[in-house]
A and B are shown apart, each in its own frame.
Chain A
């Protein structure tokens, strides 16, 4: 089973990749409570798409499993998986554990 630490590292890598394309003052903090979606989010919608694509691809390539972060299951969670880095990691680990 994938550890939360491994998944967080995948998310951080996606954020690092995004930061390479952003101006210095717009870069996103690599922290567990970094908000990914919502009014206080650090990312605009296109940046979030970019992170989702990178995370889905890395999970598939490195963990050998595909997860969809934008299907109905993800969108109907009581707490949005995209609230912050930790909630996203928790959601992915849960999805991977469910098989």
Chain B
């Protein structure tokens, strides 16, 4: 039987990159996926519901969940994947770009987790998984705000884990290493290659590396696993 049959899964940033990968994985494993992105859908599937929304806007998140309360009614798994990266030395980083990263990389996961928890509370179960980055550990030059947001995401996740534990909602973080995505293409390839070469396991992440940990956190058997961060590739 498919691993996620009958489950409702929200994936933010679903139309591209890791979000698209996760969306297709959950669909392949029988879930209904509610994909959220600012742009159009990245896939078509009978169990895929696409919502165009800016999840950094509290009003849009509330509107989305008001709709979900009357349509799918329950949410089993949330993957906070949507993120934006502007890599730039701090002294020339535009304030607007920094603010946009804080809004989408930190505020948005909070807003989505908050609204999802209100639904999960009714069913007394749920899994919230936040996608972080090796940037937290590697602290690359140019990624000050991005890395800080992702570090904050772990703290956010750990506090939410405590607040949501009484209704069996777990909250965990997956720190991914470099994988071929649109976001990665924004960065100089030689620099990324050099970073990857210095990882304990010196290679790019594969789709299965990511899906393996996602499945672990999302598993019904992982109800006693919360407030944890797993980094890929030996990063810590």
Contacts and interface: CB of A to CB of B under 8 A. Distances in A.
B169 to A, nearest CB: 13
A53 interface: yes
A61 B69 contact: yes
B62 interface: yes
A60 B66 contact: yes
Interface residues of A, number: 7
A60 B115 CA distance: 13
A46 interface: yes
Interface of A: 46, 50, 53, 57, 60-61, 66
B69 A46 contact: no
A66 B62 contact: yes
Contacts of A46: 166
B70 interface: yes
B66 A61 contact: yes
Contacts, number: 12
B7 interface: no
Contacts of B121: 50, 53
Interface string B60-77: 001000100110000000
Contacts of B66: 60-61
B118 A57 contact: yes
10 contacts: A46-B166, A50-B121, A53-B118, A57-B69, A60-B62, A60-B66, A61-B66, A61-B69, A61-B70, A66-B62
A5 to B, nearest CB: 24
A51 B140 CA distance: 44
Contacts of B166: 46
Contacts of B62: 60, 66
Contacts of A53: 118, 121
Q: Which 9 A-B pairs have the closest CB atoms?
A: A53-B118, A60-B66, A61-B69, A66-B62, A57-B118, A61-B66, A46-B166, A61-B70, A57-B69
Interface in B53-97: 62, 66, 69-70
Contacts of A60: 62, 66
Contacts of A57: 69, 118
A48 to B, nearest CB: 14
A66 B66 CA distance: 10
A47 to B, nearest CB: 11
A33 to B, nearest CB: 28
A61 B66 CA distance: 7
A68 to B, nearest CB: 10
